[in-house]
Amino acid sequence: MSAESAVRCRELVSASPSQHQHQPRSRITRTRTRTRTRPPKLPKMASLPPLPANYAAALRLIDEAHAADPNTIPRDGATVPYELHYAQQMTRWLAARQPDAPPALQLACRAQHFRRWELPRSSHPPTRAGYLTWRAKQKSTAAAQLTALLTSSAAIQPPLAPAEIARVAALVRKEGLQQQQLLQQEQQRDEETQVLEDVACLVFLDDRLDEFGQRAAMDEDKMVTILRKTWAKMGARGRELARGMALSEAAAALVGKALAGGEV
């Protein structure tokens, strides 16, 4: 990373979440550069409520951890760590999905991929069982690492209460998600966990779908299956936002095929 890019990266880390809500986006680059050619397509978003000082300090620490990701993308003339970029997209879409999001949900959305590069998908077999095992381990590991950070850092003053930290960790683990409960057990669902899941799905559709579909292992049938599963994970408001996206022609065609015959 050049000196100029490093300075730009530090500026991105230190900025508040609301300052990232209208930045243009670029494709992830791991082995080669691939920039996005279509214009930004986010709807006009409300600003999230300002965080209390201790939560704002926690968010800065989370972003500092994201900045250690060795995988990068080009953005705004700089090279940006991918997980920092991803976390900022989570904040952008959270502002659209729940403009009044409370502090714990803001932190959880910012940290749901906490240090994910240390546990890549390639660390588990390329099977459905391997994926499910990896996903479960990723969530539990991210929550544990985040808990350790929020518990031990002297930069967070006043310290977050144990119950507050536990709440953020539970959201990162996606506890109480609808798919984890019997459908009739409405009282056991965690609506904020559903918001986080909606936001993650929206970021995938907005920021990753085109790149994902270009992978050698992906054919149309696989992509349609993935999109159906993605749609099934979202709640009504998440789907409403997804339907309003200005997707690329190829992505829109895939979504249309996935939803043909009625929504999942």
27-56 confidence digits (pLDDT tens): 444 433 334 434 334 445 568 999 999 999
Using CA atoms, how far apart are residues 232 and 248, in angstroms rounded to an integer?
21
CB distance 203 to 90 below 8 Å = yes
Helix axes 82-97, 3-14, angle to 10 degrees: 30
pTM (predicted TM-score)? 0.81
Neighbouring residues of 136: CB distance < 8 A, sequence distance ≥ 6: none
What ranges do the domains of the chain cover?
A: 189-264
72 bridge partner residues: 29, 81
Question: CA torsion sign, 214 to 216 to 219 to 225?
Answer: negative
Q: Is the pLDDT of residue 83 over 50?
A: yes
Mean pLDDT for the stretch of residues 146-166: 98
103-116 confidence digits (pLDDT tens): 999 999 999 999 99
Give the CA distances from residue 24 to residues 21, 73, 250, in Å, rounded to whole numbers and listed in that order: 9, 12, 20
Instruction: Say what the pLDDT of residue 36 is.
Output: 43
Neighbouring residues of 5: CB distance < 8 A, sequence distance ≥ 6: 78, 79
Mean pLDDT of all residues belonging to the chain: 83
Opening angle at CA 245, ends 242 and 247, nearest 5: 115
> Could you tell me how far CA 252 lies from the centroid of its own chain?
21
Between residues 222 and 24, the one the model is more confident about = 222
Number of other residues whose CB lies within 10 A of the CB of residue 152: 10
Instruction: Say what the pLDDT of residue 4 is.
Output: 53
Using CA atoms, how far apart are residues 118 and 65, in angstroms rounded to an integer?
12
